[in-house]
Amino acid sequence: DIQMTQSPSTLSASVGDRVTITCRASQSISRWLAWYQQIPGKAPKLLIYKASTLEIGVPSRFSGSGSGTEFTLTINSLQPDDFATYYCQQYNGYSRTFGQGTKVEIK
């Protein structure tokens, strides 16, 4: 099984900050990585797929990078709606795994 490790688990930031979340895979997944945002009580929302492709309708302050085993999600100029939990997810053709999540809190 491919394990996904996100860091940090919790992140405190202020409106306007730039934040970065890291996701590491236990083996290479090429660029088959997605990022999701989840607000409590709601289904996750797809932000980025194939490591760096922005989903339609997602603000451009969100960006993703990486390949192989190390990936990052960056949020430029954090907005009030961005305080949420973020998950990475890998796909290797026959299984999928989520990271444990990163909660972005208001400092």
Partner 1 sequence: QVQLQQWGAGLLKTSETLSLTCAVYGGSFSGFYWSWVRQPPGKGLEWIGEINHSGSTNYNPSLKSRVTTSVDTSERRISLRLTSVTAADTGVYYCARAGRELSSFDYWGQGTLVTVSS
Q: Strands of 62-67's sheet, edge to edge?
A: 4-7, 19-25, 70-75, 62-67
- Running DSSP on this structure, what letter comes out for residue 96? E
Alpha carbons 8 and 99: distance in angstroms, whole number: 11
- 19, 25, 34, 73: residue in contact with partner 1 (rule CB under 8 A): 34
> Can you read off the two tokens belonging to residue 59?
């603000």
- 82, 84, 99, 104: residue in contact with partner 1 (rule CB under 8 A): 99
Neighbours of 88 (CB within 10 A): 29
CA dihedral 47, 52, 103, 20 (to 10 degrees): -140
The CB-of-54 to partner 1 minimum distance in angstroms stands at: 11
- Cβ proximity to partner 1: between 17 and 54 the closer is 54
- 5, 26, 28, 53: residue in contact with partner 1 (rule CB under 8 A): 53
- Cβ proximity to partner 1: between 22 and 97 the closer is 97
Q: Is 68 in the site for partner 1 (CB under 8 A)?
A: no
Interface residues with partner 1 (CB under 8 A)? 1, 32, 34, 36, 38, 43-44, 46, 49-50, 53, 55, 87, 89, 91, 94-101
